[in-house]
Amino acid sequence: MIRLLDLQKQFILAHLKEGDVAVDFTMGNGHDTEFLSKTVGEKGRVYAFDIQEAAVNSTRETLVRGECPENYTLIHDSHHNCEKYVEGRIKAGMFNLGYLPGGDKNITTMRETTMPAIKAAIAMLDRDAILCIAIYPGHEEGDLEGKMVTEYLSGLDRFTYSIAQIKIINSPTSPYFMIVETK
């Protein structure tokens, strides 16, 4: 069986190396932040965003428990404000849209902030970089976010970006993800 989160990481590892800069645009419980931190190592840098203090605290615990290098900055702010915190180019970025696992399911990512964040993330991508966007269409806002993101990414220049969607087609409410790779 395909594990989408494992597949995302395989795509990222084709671009992200030790010493690079990466961003977790939706830190949640910190598992993607941990993966990025360990991948870029002590000489790299990871920025992670979430609007919920519980997510920031959970991520901090995950990073300490995982013995990650102290190469991360946890930011208690919306991902659509990422340009205020992240300077320069990034080699990888991850979005896990939806709600905090184990948290309040009424607090979700929203189209109004997700789209500006994705546009900013794409503008930050370095050459030979990647952005992974996980979509959770099992709730109304997630379905609408997915349609919005798909429409936007479909209009990007194919000579500048390679964009793919990875989806289990016989399970329409299952999560899926999109990758944006710079050429």
In order of their start, the domains of the chain are 4-182 (3.40.50.150)
pLDDT digits (tens, 9 = 90+) for 13-31: 999 999 999 999 999 999 9
- Report d(CA 128, CA 90) in Å as an integer: 10
Residues 162, 167, 169, 172, CA torsion sign: negative
Instruction: Report the pLDDT value the prediction gives residue 99, as an integer from 0 to 100.
Output: 61
Q: φ, ψ for residue 63 (rounded to 5)?
A: -70, -40
Residue 124 pLDDT greater than 80, yes or no: yes
Residue 118: the pLDDT is 97
- Residue 19: what pLDDT? 98
Q: How far is CA 181 from the centre of its chain?
A: 13
Indicate the SS3 state at residue 113: helix
**Mean pLDDT value of segment 37-44:** 98
- Compute the distance between CA of residue 55 and CA of residue 51 in angstroms, rounded to an integer: 8
* Confidence at 69, pLDDT banded by 50, 70, 90: very high
- Does 138 score more than 90 pLDDT? no
pTM of the model: 0.93
